[in-house]
Amino acid sequence: MTSRRSLLQLLALSPLAAALPGAARAGEAWPDRPIRLLVAYAPGGGTDNVARVVAARLQGALGQPVVVENRPGAGGNLATDAVAAARPDGYTLLVGNQGPMTVNQSLFPNMKVDPLKALEPIALLADAPLVAVVGPGSKARTLRELLDEARAANGDFNYASASNGSASHLAAALMFQMAGIEAQHLPFRGAGPALNDVVAGHVPFMITTLPSVLGLIQGELVRPLAVTGEARIAALPDVPTVAEAALPAYRSSAWYGVLAPKGTPAEIRTRLERAIADCLTDPAVVKRLHEEGAEPSRLGGTRFGGFMAEERTRWAKLVREAGISVE
């Protein structure tokens, strides 16, 4: 009887015993099929361009296709929700940026997903300062002159942005708030339409991405006054930072990072983080990122998560104090 009971116990345990090596092999085998990299915006924008540069290099590092899938809508929330709901197996990832990851929580009162709780930060890819420009609607040649113009307008000064709540919008709102100036925000449907009105002289000023405005600067259709990051950029070496030009404590930029669904195994997260770090040292990748006005990052998952938490606190304060809303 004892030997029969022992045999039954062994038979009952054998499926579990067989499953354990399989589970270990599954982690080691990843990836064994294509990986989806969701982008919360339409093709052609800064987030999409950075995602495609990195995806092309990751394919070689991981040995599987990395397919960029554009999922625009709801200020970036649709793609965020989709990745948060995906299986945490490393085959569905998100390229997140400032808006959906750290600003939307202050703008959308009924968000389904909190990215800091529903996603695992893998790595920050790049940081991209923006460029403050004026057209024929302003006589300013320096940022201080622009701020003086806006101050003298007594609340009647307008500035354009790519959209409500965008990095373009928030960078300008932060600048005017720090300068103690009241200015009127005019949101557009993208950087292109906004810049058209700046070039035409209908709106004097905006802050925008380098790729969207570099050709206009080179054609002398707009004048660059400052860049918003902590350092000058190679494409515009003679253009000072906002901090240098007028507001010493100022900094703002667009940034892009990779995130995975909560619960993605640590082994997969570690392999992804290492592959991304190697990718960002590739001279061809660095060159392409520089063309996007972006600087490769060195923040892995833990530090990227801490950075996002700091960004959320900082932008929530601006949204609250400046009364910014998406309505």
Q: Which residue carries 């998100």 as its tokens?
A: 94
**Alpha helix locations (H) across the chain?**
2-29, 46-62, 77-85, 98, 104-107, 115-118, 143-152, 167-179, 191-199, 210-218, 242-245, 266-279, 283-291, 301-322
Q: Can you tell me the mean pLDDT for 42-71? A: 91
Lowest mean per-residue pLDDT among 8-12, 27-31, 274-278, 298-302: 8-12
Residues linked to residue 119 through DSSP beta bridges, in sequence order: 261
CATH class of the domain comprising 129-245: alpha beta
**Using CA atoms, how far apart are residues 158 and 197, in angstroms rounded to an integer?**
11
Q: Can you tell me the mean pLDDT for 67-78? A: 87
**Using CA atoms, how far apart are residues 228 and 172, in angstroms rounded to an integer?**
9
Among the listed residues 184, 97, 167, the one whose alpha carbon sits nearest the alpha carbon of residue 131: 167
Question: Angle between the 143-152 and 167-179 helix axes, to the nearest 10 degrees?
Answer: 70
- Tell whether the model's pLDDT for residue 24 goes beyond 70: no
Q: Can you tell me the mean pLDDT for 34-50? A: 88
Q: How confident is the model at residue 111 (pLDDT cuts 50, 70, 90)?
A: confident
Q: What is the pLDDT of residues 116-130, one digit of tens each?
A: 999 999 999 999 999
pTM value is 0.81
Mean predicted lDDT score pLDDT of the chain: 88
- Tell whether the model's pLDDT for residue 270 goes beyond 60: yes
Fold identical between 34-127+254-322 and 129-245?
Answer: yes
Task: Please classify residue 22 by burial: count the beta carbons closer than 10 Å to its beta carbon, then call 0-12 exposed, 13-18 middle and 19+ buried.
Answer: exposed
pLDDT at position 211 is 84
Q: What is the pLDDT of residues 141-173, one digit of tens each?
A: 999 999 999 999 999 999 999 888 888 999 999
Handedness of CA 105, 195, 184, 253 (dihedral sign): positive
Among the listed residues 216, 211, 240, 212, the one whose alpha carbon sits nearest the alpha carbon of residue 226: 240
CATH class of the domain comprising 34-127+254-322: alpha beta
Q: How confident is the model at residue 15 (pLDDT cuts 50, 70, 90)?
A: very low
The answer to whether 143 and 205 have CB atoms below 8 angstroms apart is no
Q: What is the pLDDT of residues 189-225, one digit of tens each?
A: 788 889 999 999 999 999 998 888 899 999 999 999 9
Q: How confident is the model at residue 13 (pLDDT cuts 50, 70, 90)?
A: very low
Per-domain residue ranges of the chain? 34-127+254-322, 129-245
pLDDT at position 11 is 44
